[in-house]
Structure 1
Amino acid sequence: MTKRQHAKTASDTALQCGDAWLDAEIGRSRFRDERLGKRFRLVLERLWSCIGQSIPMAFQDWCNTKAAYRFLSNPNVTEQDILGGHFEATRSHFTATPGQVLELQDTTSFPTNESGPS
């Protein structure tokens, strides 16, 4: 197998794992309108494929960027709608894990100016 074939196989595997993770995380999300659920998945798929990028960079063109912002500012989309599936998936992970679970939280903050913390 060439390096290029191996890289493509690794990339395909990562995408398949990403799809499985995405399904598990948002599978229990409930939106009042089914179309909003479909749009939510599209937004997350694009952000997942461009981790660390801003919304404009992830969506690449103004039409898709505007659609993502429109979804996020839709009055029919609540924080609970967006996070509900993730909360349920997390609860399932905790329930399925025997013994203790270590929960980590990063509380790191960085100063906003170059003079450092005051």
Structure 2
Amino acid sequence: MRGMARVGVVFTVAIGALGGAMTSAASAAEVPRGQQVASANACMGCHAVDRKLVGPSFQQIAAKYKGDAQAPARLARKVKDGGSGVWGVIPMPAHQSMSDADIRTVVDWVLAGAPSR
């Protein structure tokens, strides 16, 4: 019977781990791709979705550039090359290692208002 108890414990632990992995995957799937890319590229170290940190919130950026047809290209260039002066004296570092596709994904998400879903 001891062997059966051990199998039951292992099975319970394995099912619990699998359930946790599935929950994490489901949670990740609910996070917008733009936010996932922003998080993976340290954007969230200086920006938050809804409040100013070191830099403006993503929602503030969306509001500032709402209706600006040039905003996607301008912001993509700003992310790639860095810059300063638009939001204050603290410069935004360049993100040269980010792919153009990832930058565009983040910029499109930000300009959409940085939705959480």
TM-score by length of 2: 0.29
Using the size of structure 1 for normalisation, the TM-score is 0.29
